Chains A and B, each alone.
Chain A
Amino acid sequence: MYSDAELLAAIGSGDQLNNAIFFIYQQYSQTVQSFILANSGTAPDAEDIFQETVVTFIDLVRKGKFRGEASVKTFLTAIARNLWLNELKKRARSGVREKAFETDREGIEMDVSQYIANREVKQEFLVVLGKLGEPCKKLLTLFYYENLSMKDIVHHLPYENEQVVRNKKYKCLQALTELVKQNPVIAKMVNQQTD
């Protein structure tokens, strides 16, 4: 069992992340998924939205964008509501569904729209990483996500020495950046920001 503060610390520390995610599923999946089911969602919808909620939450905590301003439960529920509304809008722009959803909201809701902006871009992130290829994905993940040094990476991957890892990492990042540039959804967002 984690308190909210302990949960945030566990996510931040990294080495406890699996336990923290498991705890989130134990504690909050039922509440959040019931909400999706009660608002026109199917069981797979509920699972997918909850998964995306957890990914968004972990990403925000790791980047220091959520520091416990609200309770974890409130925040997760607000993210899920927002993602689900977003999804409903995306699906055929169904006025009936949205209306049903909007009228079913209970009490005061937290505004988390700022936190889940660029949802489509996040989904494209998975697409470009899929195109990158497993060896590069693994190498970049070890360096940028797990924060391993070049020396440590030599022990995890079949490269001869640190210099080989360094060169490979440079090429992989170069390839990924190119894929990101070529992705129309991501490029559109960057163009809008820089124009």
Chain B
Amino acid sequence: MEGRNEQLLINYLDRALEEKEMREMEALINSDQETRRQWEFLQLAVDAVEYSAIYDQVAAVKENFRTIQPVEVLQTSTKKNVRMRMRTIMRVAAVLLFCVMGAGVYKYLSVSATRMYDDAFIAYTLPTTRGQATITDIEQAYRQQNWQAVIAAFNTIGSSSLNDNKTLFLAGMAHLQLHNYASASRLFNKVMANNTQRGDDLYQDEAEFYGALSYLANRNTREAIPLLKKIRADKGHLYHEQAARIGNIDLQIIKIKGGS
């Protein structure tokens, strides 16, 4: 596809042209063989996106199905035994069991690490300190919710910022707000590592909670679950209540689901 023609075809595909331009493009596709050929490739590209997305979605559900139903489905078909009829009580039990399983399946399907993240996330507000003489660029940018500026200021400070837990934590939060989950995790981990090294607890609770959330958002449940369990076990933790709202069953489900 060449230049403007390519752009027009994409806009035509996305229905982003004016009505007159749409008609002109349609006429060009019908009359010009090369344009028609390009149009077909473009449609195939979109078909490929859709097909691949369906494939991924079916594969994910298939995995869930296998986890929930570990019974050798294929073997049962050859072992069908119809000799015994179910008594009424057995049928009632089966219906009840089915309902319970249905509820279980629904629960299983509806719980995911990213959804857990969405439910648990609360924005971190920087507290105002009375008598604070100076406000750093990072704090200023953070109060203005200018996440890019927070990161830029953090990068400007250089290696000395790696020793300042507050700076590290705020930069981590900015990354979290921008959905750069891996970068956020790295900075929260650094906060915790600094505390371990110094025997300190500056921004420890915050780093643990938002560290767990950044792992959840990044579907890294193996790292998220121990942190959440730790917070839930500590009644004095700043984020105990938030973490306690996440149910045990939900934690078990995301543990089974792994990265889903």
Using CB atoms and an 8 Å cutoff, list the residues of chain A in contact with chain B: 17-19, 21-22, 25-26, 29-31, 33-34, 37, 43, 46-47, 51, 54-55, 58-59, 62, 121-122, 125-126, 128-129, 137, 140-141, 144-146, 156-158, 160, 170, 173-174, 176-177, 179-181, 186, 190, 193-194
Contact = CB atoms under 8 A, between A and B. Distances in A.
A174 B6 contact: yes
Contact of B36 (A58, A141, A177, A194): A194
B77 interface: yes
A160 B148 contact: yes
B41 A181 contact: yes
B189 to A, nearest CB: 20
A18 B44 CA distance: 25
B48 interface: yes
Contact of A22 (B36, B73, B109): B109
B49 A30 contact: no
A55 B48 contact: no
B53 interface: yes
B58 A21 contact: yes
Interface in B95-115: 105-106, 109
Given A59-B50, A173-B10, A194-B36, A180 B61 contact: no
Contact of A145 (B50, B62, B78, B105): B50
Nearest to A25: B65
B49 A145 contact: yes
B50 to A, nearest CB: 5
A174 B11 CA distance: 12
Main secondary structure of the interface of B (DSSP, over half): helix
B59 A141 contact: no
Contacts of A160: 148
A180 B41 contact: yes
Contacts of A157: 179
A173 B105 CA distance: 37
Interface string B178-221: 11100000000000000000000000000000000000000000
Interface residues of B, number: 43
B94 interface: no
B93 interface: no
Contact of A176 (B45, B76, B148, B179): B45
Contact of A29 (B42, B48, B60, B73): B73
Given A25-B61, A30-B74, A62 B48 contact: no
Given A47-B62, A129-B49, A157-B179, 4 more contacts: A26-B65, A145-B54, A179-B45, A190-B40
Contacts of A128: 48
B43 to A, nearest CB: 10
A176 B49 contact: yes
A17 B57 contact: yes
A25 B62 contact: yes
B132 interface: no
B55 A55 contact: yes
Interface in B146-162: 148
B47 to A, nearest CB: 7
B242 interface: no
Contacts of A176: 45, 48-49
A182 B172 CA distance: 42
B46 interface: yes
Contacts of B36: 194
Contacts of B91: none
Contacts of B6: 174
Contact of A30 (B1, B51, B77): B77
Given A22-B61, A22-B109, A186-B44, A58 B49 contact: no
A126 B51 CA distance: 8
A63 to B, nearest CB: 8
Contacts of A144: 46, 49-50
